């Protein structure tokens, strides 16, 4: 394969809502470019970028996949991303290294939830954008209705460069407004022809609108526009490219990807109008000391690259990276500046779905892959040590849903940790941890579908079977009253006995204060070497409260008196006396149940605010405030964790899957009596509350 220079490269991320036809469109691009010998389809599992078994079975993309098309002297690197909201984090990782975000919109259903979320990510990275209204050949397809909706949601900068000729089953081509030519599909090819007579007025008006938007914001072009009343092609064509790069316009195209109609016209526009990496001039990073540094995007600069994806396939562990500066050659050694280690790269490859092709070298702006790196992971930077630059890794949203996970068999248990470790390397939006209190292993993801797909990967890729269930809430217990109690342990046998006696004051502390032990004995009521044993006994007993068997927290103990036997007293005896003192305190000090309270942030369109706040209140939540963020309403609240375990389906139902939420631990608070009774009853039924036996 030819090695492409920086100016010849186009990096596009194909994003948008599910079932808009993104993967079919990519398949059509690859087929037209001769990269594949047949037009791959999602329906029969032949699409180049939907090659894994899970995507084929579910007929949907579950991960971002790289491909490339060589077209008219340029290399178009394509990142095909999933449209399901559960995998929107994959789109974010792709957008991090793309030079333009291409949003694919269904010509019937219009703007979807993932479209809005991916748009926000593109804004976060300050990316140029383009839109394809796809499936123009399907029933009820309506380009003008979709265009009006796009302008309403994404501002007036949305402007067509192509307009469709016909629609539904009569969709047969496009009018290219930039060149004022028509292209009609004939025998599988787009053939240039005259603009249909009944479309000339529409085409002229649409071109005028395009010219006005291109001139607006460019003083030189605006002056020519006022003088001439229009722009010549010599000004308009480079003006379109500049306006896209500067994010002053969002060009709109019309296609029918499944039947390859107008796809080559879009590819022509990618080469002519979309920015190359060199057009951005420079990239911003930091030195290892944290100072900002800028690097020219050029092959003449020292090498630097960013690893944006790591995954495992038939070739083993694969690392995908974008070169931001310099040239990287096969079998070279590079510095992983993030880890501070050197990596031997081995052969460089270009990716075509699940196929790889070796290349000798790659230039700044290109996307390529290497296999079997030892220390490198997603988010790492390769950089010349003498002129270091670190690129900021992608910040993924915190997981929205948790499941307790357990292996089905002992054999699965032995393999689970290794398999999960590999999936965590591949998917940085996934979390896996052990809850120290409930002793459960928790698998967390962006949605139920995300976690279900991970479980499928465990089974199909690593032959590990697991079960999922709702995680337990880590309740705690505490005291509400100050009490003085005695703990006395006495046991007499034929030989030496056991004797320990202590008097303690137990009193509650404020939430989050933990445990305090104060030795207030003056004199020798209890020898000093035995007093720590009292504390140890209390702490051991506090791991299991008397209400529901949960740990007891936020209390203070003062050791004020006691007695001992010169022969029978020892450390064990006083530890057992401490345990009995604790149990006596639990009976008298009005113990209560505590539950974790979470800081919750819900982001959704403003029209759903009332219903969302009503639902939060019904979950015993307390609204803390509201804010606006990028056209969305942000609701901040504090809600008990027990009420948030099933929140995702409700949020999807209220907002039509257009909302998202995140939460983090805030504090513990007392459980209302009527709910505490239910929790205690469940704990007793599970056998969590053990009978207090005499030692």
Non-local (6+) Cβ contacts of 548 within 8 A are 475, 477, 593, 679, 680, 682, 683, 684, 688, 689
Quick one: what percent of the chain has pLDDT higher than 90?
74
Q: What is the mean pLDDT of residues 587-612?
A: 91
Taking the alpha carbons at both ends of the chain, their separation in whole angstroms is 79
Residue 504 to residues 478, 482, 507, 528, 555: CA-CA distances in angstroms? Answer: 16, 11, 10, 15, 12
Given CATH 3.40.50.880, say whether it is the number of domain 594-680: no
Instruction: Encode burial over 399-411: b for 16+ CB neighbours within 10 A, e otherwise.
Output: bbbbbbbebeeee
Residue 630 has pLDDT above 70, yes or no: no
Non-local (6+) Cβ contacts of 397 within 8 A are 89, 429, 446, 660, 662
Residue 585 has pLDDT above 60, yes or no: yes
Coil/strand/helix, residue 44: coil
By mean pLDDT, which of 24-33, 209-218, 435-444, 609-618 is the weakest? 435-444
Residue 24 has pLDDT above 50, yes or no: yes
Residue 272 CA to residue 160 CA, distance in Å, equals 16
Residue 43 CA to residue 49 CA, distance in Å, equals 13
Domains in the chain: boundaries: 8-199+248-279, 282-383, 403-469, 476-590, 594-680
| pLDDT score at 399 | 78
CA 255 from centroid of its chain's CA atoms: 30
Strand partners, 285: 293
The answer to whether 117 and 16 are in contact (CB under 8 A) is no
**pLDDT averaged over every residue in the chain:** 92
Q: What is the mean pLDDT of residues 147-161?
A: 93
Computed on alpha carbons and rounded to an integer, the radius of gyration of the chain in Å comes to 32
Q: What is the mean pLDDT of residues 346-353?
A: 95
With tokens 């900068």, the residue in question is 157
Q: DSSP assignment of 565-596, as one string?
A: -TTT--HHHHHHHHHHHHHHHHHHS--EEEEE
Q: Do domains 403-469 and 594-680 have the same CATH topology?
A: yes
- Better-scored residue on pLDDT, 452 or 493: 452
Percent helix, strand and coil across the chain, each to the nearest 5: 30, 35, 35
Q: DSSP assignment of 423-487, as one string?
A: HHHH-TT-EEEE-TTT--EEEEESSHHHHHHHHHHHHHHH---EEEEPPPP--EEE--S-EEEEE
What is the maximum alpha-carbon separation in the chain? 116
Non-local (6+) Cβ contacts of 678 within 8 A are none
- The CATH number of the structural domain formed by 476-590 is 3.30.230.10
Coil/strand/helix, residue 216: coil
What is the CB neighbour count within 10 angstroms for residue 654?
A: 18
Read off the pLDDT band of 315 (50, 70, 90).
low
| pLDDT score at 629 | 64
Non-local (6+) Cβ contacts of 192 within 8 A are 181, 182, 183
Residue 95 CA to residue 102 CA, distance in Å, equals 10
| pLDDT score at 691 | 44
The answer to whether 301 and 325 are in contact (CB under 8 A) is yes
Given CATH 3.40.50.300, say whether it is the number of domain 403-469: no
Read off the pLDDT band of 597 (50, 70, 90).
very high
Non-local (6+) Cβ contacts of 42 within 8 A are 23, 24, 27, 50, 59, 60
| pLDDT score at 506 | 97
| pLDDT score at 263 | 97
| pLDDT score at 694 | 39
| pLDDT score at 314 | 62
Strand partners, 341: 336
Residue 24 to residues 60, 145, 326, 444: CA-CA distances in angstroms? Answer: 11, 23, 34, 31
Residue 148 CA to residue 314 CA, distance in Å, equals 45
Three-state secondary structure string covering 232-282: CHHHHHHHHHHHHHCCCCEEEEECEHHHCECHHHHHHHHHHHCCCHHHHCE
pLDDT tens by residue, 82-111: 988 889 899 999 999 999 999 999 999 888
| pLDDT score at 626 | 92
The answer to whether 285 and 293 are in contact (CB under 8 A) is yes
The pTM is what? 0.79
The answer to whether 380 and 345 are in contact (CB under 8 A) is no
pLDDT tens by residue, 501-516: 999 999 999 998 999 9
By mean pLDDT, which of 91-100, 184-193, 309-318, 549-558 is the weakest? 309-318
| pLDDT score at 631 | 63
Q: What is the mean pLDDT of residues 210-218?
A: 93
Residue 217 has pLDDT above 90, yes or no: no
Please identify, in words, the CATH class of the domain defined by 8-199+248-279. alpha beta
Residue 268 CA to residue 166 CA, distance in Å, equals 21
Q: DSSP assignment of 129-176, as one string?
A: EEEEEE-TTSTT--HHHHHHHHHHHH-TTEEESEEEES-GGG--EEEE
Superfamily of domain 282-383: Translation factors (2.40.30.10)
The helix (H) or strand (E) run that includes residue 87 is none
């Amino acid at each position: 394969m030819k090695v492409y220079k920086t100016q010849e490269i186009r990096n596009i991320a194909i994003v948008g809502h599910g079932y808009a036809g993104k993967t079919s469109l990519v398949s059509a691009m690859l087929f037209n470019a001769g990269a594949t010998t047949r037009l791959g389809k999602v329906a029969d599992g032949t699409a180049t970028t939907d090659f894994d078994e899970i995507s084929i079975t579910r007929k949907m993309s579950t991960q971002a996949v790289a491909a490339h098309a060589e077209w008219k002297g340029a290399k178009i690197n394509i990142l095909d991303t999933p449209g399901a909201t559960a995998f929107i984090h994959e789109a974010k990782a792709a957008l991090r290294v793309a030079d333009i975000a291409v949003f694919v919109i269904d010509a019937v259903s219009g703007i979807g939830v993932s479209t809005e979320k991916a748009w926000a990510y593109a804004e976060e990275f300050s990316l140029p954008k383009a839109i394809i209204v796809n499936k123009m050949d399907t029933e009820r397809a309506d380009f003008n209705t979709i265009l009006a909706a796009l302008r309403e949601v994404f501002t007036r900068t949305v402007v067509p460069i192509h307009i469709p000729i016909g629609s539904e089953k009569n969709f047969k081509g496009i009018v290219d407004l930039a060149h004022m030519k028509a292209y009609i599909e004939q025998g599988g090819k787009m053939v240039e022809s005259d603009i249909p007579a009944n479309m000339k007025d529409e085409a002229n008006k649409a071109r005028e609108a395009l010219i006005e938007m291109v001139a607006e914001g460019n003083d030189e072009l605006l002056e020519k526009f006022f003088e001439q009343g229009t722009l010549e092609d010599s000004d308009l064509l480079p003006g379109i490219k500049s306006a896209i790069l500067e994010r002053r316009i969002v060009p709109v195209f019309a296609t029918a990807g499944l039947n390859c109609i107008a796809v080559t016209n879009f590819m022509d526009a990618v080469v002519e109008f979309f920015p190359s990496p060199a057009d951005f001039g420079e990239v911003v990073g930091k030195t290892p000391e944290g100072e900002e540094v800028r690097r020219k995007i050029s092959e003449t600069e020292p090498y630097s690259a960013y690893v944006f994806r790591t995954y495992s396939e038939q070739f083993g562990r694969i690392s995908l990276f974008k070169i931001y500066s310099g040239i990287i050659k096969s079998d070279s050694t590079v510095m992983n500046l993030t880890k501070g280690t050197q990596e031997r790269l081995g052969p460089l490859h270009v990716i075509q779905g699940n196929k790889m092709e070796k290349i000798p070298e790659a230039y700044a702006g290109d996307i390529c892959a290497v296999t079997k790196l030892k220390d490198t992971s997603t988010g790492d930077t390769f950089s010349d040590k003498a002129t270091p630059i670190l690129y900021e890794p992608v910040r993924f949203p915190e997981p929205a849903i948790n499941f307790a996970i357990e292996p089905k068999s002992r054999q699965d248990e032995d393999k689970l940790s290794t398999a999960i470790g590999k999936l965590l390397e591949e998917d940085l939006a996934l979390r896996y941890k052990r809850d120290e209190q409930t002793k459960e292993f928790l698998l967390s993801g962006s949605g139920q579908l995300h976690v279900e797909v991970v479980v499928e990967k465990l089974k199909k890729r690593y032959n590990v079977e697991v079960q999922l269930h709702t995680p337990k809430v880590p309740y705690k217990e505490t005291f509400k009253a100050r009490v003085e109690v005695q703990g006395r342990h006495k046991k007499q046998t034929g030989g030496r006995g056991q004797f320990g006696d202590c008097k303690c004051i137990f009193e509650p502390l404020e939430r989050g204060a933990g445990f305090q032990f104060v030795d207030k004995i003056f004199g020798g009521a209890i020898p000093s070497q035995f007093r720590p044993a009292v504390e140890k006994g209390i702490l051991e007993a506090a791991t299991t409260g008397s209400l529901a068997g949960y740990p007891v927290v936020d209390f203070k103990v003062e050791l004020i008196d006691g007695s001992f036997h010169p022969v029978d007293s020892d450390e064990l005896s006083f530890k057992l006396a401490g345990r009995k003192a604790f149990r006596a305190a639990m009976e008298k000090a009005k113990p209560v149940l505590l539950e974790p309270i979470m800081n919750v942030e819900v982001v959704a369109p403003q029209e759903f605010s009332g219903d969302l706040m009503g639902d939060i209140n019904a979950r015993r939540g307390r609204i803390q405030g509201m804010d606006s963020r990028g056209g969305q309403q942000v609701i901040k609240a504090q809600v008990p964790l027990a009420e948030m375990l099933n929140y995702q389906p409700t949020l999807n139902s209220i907002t039509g899957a257009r909302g998202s939420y995140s939460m983090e631990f805030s504090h513990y608070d007392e459980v209302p009596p009527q709910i505490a009774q239910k929790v205690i009853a469940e704990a007793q039924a599970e056998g969590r509350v053990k009978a207090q036996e005499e030692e």
